[in-house]
Structures are given as C-alpha cells and as structure tokens.
C-alpha cells in the first residue's frame, strides 16, 4: 500500500479512523472524510502526529455534491485514487411500526446512497488504477435484524449494489470487497437513531466484549491487499451467515431471541 491513495468515509472515529491509521502506517496517503468538522480535525491532528500523509475533507455522504467534492479534492492533491473504503454509516433501533419514515430515509441516504455517490465519482479513477472499492457492511446485510429494518435494508442494498458492480467489472481489473465486521466496539450504537430520529445515546451492548475497531482495520487492510471478495468476521457472524442459508427459519428465531435480550429491547 506504499504511496497508494486511500479514501475513507466516516473516518473521524471507529473503524474508519482505525483504517486510516493502519493504511497510513503502511505508507499509504490517506484521505479522511467525515461530516463533523470538529471530529474530523481532531482525528487528522492525531494521525498527523504519526507522520501519516493525509488530506481531511468535510463530507456528508448523503449529499451528491459533497461526494463529488471529496473525489475532486483527492485527485487535485494526489492525482489518483487507488482504494475507496465506504465506511460512513448510521444505525437505527426501533420497531418498524413505531418508526418515522424519515429515519429509514436517513439511514438509506447515508449507508446506501453514500456508497453509490462516492463510488460513482471515484470509479473513473479506480478503473485507471485497477484499484479497490470496499463497502463496510454488516451481518445485517445477510440477515434481517429485528428493530433494525432500515439498517438491514441499507446493508442489503449496499451489498447488492457492490455485488453487481463486481460482476459488471469482471474484465476491467476493478476489485470490489464487501466487509462484514459483526458487532464491533464503535460509536455506531451510540449514534443509532430511535423511532423519532433522535440519537439513542447509549449502546445496548457490552462494547468491551466485542472486536475492536483496530482488529477490524487489520482484517480490512489484509483483505484489500489480497483483493478478497468478501470478508465476514467473527465466528458468530460466519456461523450466522452459513446457517442462514441452510436453515433460515431456525436462524430467524435465534436472531429474534438474541435481539430480544438486549437491554431496553423494543422486541417483546
């Protein structure tokens, strides 16, 4: 990855920031994209102390013009794009019956359309470099998670888009990878939307027992380097995906029971 140009969305915290640190440590030039300018600048300052060559661009991936600006500023500074990591994402936690439609729309706009927009503007440069498009998805892209209808829908959509893009480019040299980390210690559950669109504010899960963002970043780095097709992490995640194909009804019950045990679960 030395001297490769890596764009990472949602790069101010969690998996995105960990990926920036990992790729940067391996000699890549890293472009950090995030919506919150204060968090973005703080992350950039921390990474610059590690002597990582970087560019920070404020970007709301739900806006086409921001995604176009992100790619243009990257090419203006570095002249190319080698890897695009579509990591920006938001979750939600509420029964569909109680959820305002604006919540579903917001989740889709960030998780799905953000991936589409960034990939669209980066694609000409990625085709030139025979580079990589990565979508940071979730087990929710394989299994419908109760009380997370919008989140699962967005990840299913992301994976369908990237799978089709991969097939479309079988002969161009473009590499497309879908990465599904499983439950990871990050702030995505703290910022998850409730039924009315307000932030959940507190994670319903024990973060200390989850895979760390740094561990996920290491797997993503290796996956990009070896140009893997899919990356399903954690034993629980792999088992759920495998059994979901063979015994879908059984897995639905298991998923329901697991989610119902969460603190303050809306599932009864």
Average pLDDT over residues 214-242: 93
- Residue 134: band (very low, low, confident or very high) from pLDDT cuts 50, 70, 90: very high
In a domain, residue 253? The reply is no
Look up the domain containing 159 and give its range: 5-241
Q: Picking from 38-52, 150-164, 165-179, 188-202, which range would have the lowest pLDDT averaged per residue? A: 188-202
Average pLDDT over residues 74-90: 97
Contact in structure between 81 and 5 (CB atoms under 8 Å): yes
% of the chain with per-residue pLDDT over 70: 94
Half-sphere exposure of 9 (CA within 13 A, CB side): 35
In a domain, residue 147? The reply is yes
Average pLDDT over residues 164-178: 98
Q: Considering its fold, how many domains does the chain have in total?
A: 1
Listed in sequence order, the DSSP H helices in the chain are 14-25, 37-48, 64-78, 101-108, 114-129, 149-168, 213-225, 235-246, 248-260
* Residue of 121, 125, 151, 221 marked active site: 151
Is residue 117 annotated as a catalytic residue, yes or no?
Answer: no
Of 48, 4, 56, the closest CA to residue 28 belongs to 4
In a domain, residue 261? The reply is no
* Cα dihedral value 175, 180, 86, 19, nearest 10: -90
Tokens (6 digits) for 228: 């893997």
Looking up residue 76, the CATH number of its domain turns out to be 3.40.50.720
In a domain, residue 264? The reply is no
- The span from the CA of 206 to the CA of 235, in Å, is 17
In a domain, residue 266? The reply is no
Task: Spell out a b/e string for 134-151, using b for 16 or more CB atoms within 10 Å of the CB, else e.
Answer: bbbbbbbbbbbbbbbbbb
Tokens (6 digits) for 155: 């990840």
pTM value is 0.92
Q: Tokens 């990472």 identify what position? A: 8
Q: Which residue has the higher pLDDT, 245 or 131?
A: 131
Tokens (6 digits) for 257: 């029971």
User: What's the chain's average pLDDT?
Assistant: 92
Contact in structure between 81 and 122 (CB atoms under 8 Å): yes
Question: How would you class 254 by CB atoms within 10 Å of its CB: exposed for 0-12, middle for 13-18, buried for 19 or more?
Answer: middle
- The span from the CA of 69 to the CA of 92, in Å, is 28
- The pLDDT, as a whole number, for residue 10 is 96
Question: How would you class 264 by CB atoms within 10 Å of its CB: exposed for 0-12, middle for 13-18, buried for 19 or more?
Answer: exposed
- The pLDDT, as a whole number, for residue 184 is 65
In a domain, residue 59? The reply is yes
Of 19, 17, 44, the closest CA to residue 224 belongs to 19
Partners of 122 in the beta sheet? none
In a domain, residue 254? The reply is no
Q: What is the pLDDT of residues 179-223, one digit of tens each?
A: 998 776 655 555 788 887 788 766 555 555 678 999 999 999 999
């Amino acid at each position: 990855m030395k001297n490769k140009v890596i764009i990472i969305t949602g790069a101010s915290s969690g998996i995105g920031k960990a990926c920036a640190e990992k790729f940067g440590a391996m000699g890549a030039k890293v472009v950090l994209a995030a919506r919150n300018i204060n968090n973005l600048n703080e992350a950039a300052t921390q990474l610059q102390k590690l002597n990582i060559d970087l560019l920070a661009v404020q970007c709301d991936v739900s806006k086409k013009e921001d995604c176009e600006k992100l790619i243009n500023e990257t090419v203006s500074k570095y002249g190319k794009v080698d890897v695009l990591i579509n990591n920006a994402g938001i979750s939600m936690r509420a029964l569909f019956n109680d959820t305002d439609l604006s919540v579903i729309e917001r989740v889709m706009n960030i998780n799905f359309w953000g991936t589409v927009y960034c990939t669209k503007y980066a694609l000409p440069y990625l085709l030139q470099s025979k580079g990589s498009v990565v979508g940071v998805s979730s087990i929710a892209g394989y299994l419908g998670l109760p009380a997370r209808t919008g989140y699962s829908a967005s990840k299913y959509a992301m994976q369908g888009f990237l799978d089709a893009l991969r097939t479309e480019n079988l002969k161009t040299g473009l590499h497309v990878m879908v990465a599904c980390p499983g439950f990871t210690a990050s702030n995505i559950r703290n910022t998850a939307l409730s039924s009315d669109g307000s932030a959940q504010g507190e994670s319903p899960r024990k973060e200390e027992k989850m895979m760390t963002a740094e561990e996920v970043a290491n797997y993503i780095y290796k996956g990009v380097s070896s140009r893997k097709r899919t990356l399903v992490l954690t034993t629980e995640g792999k088992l759920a995906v495998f059994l979901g194909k063979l015994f879908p009804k059984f897995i639905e019950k298991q998923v329901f029971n697991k989610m119902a045990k969460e603190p303050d679960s809306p599932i009864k």
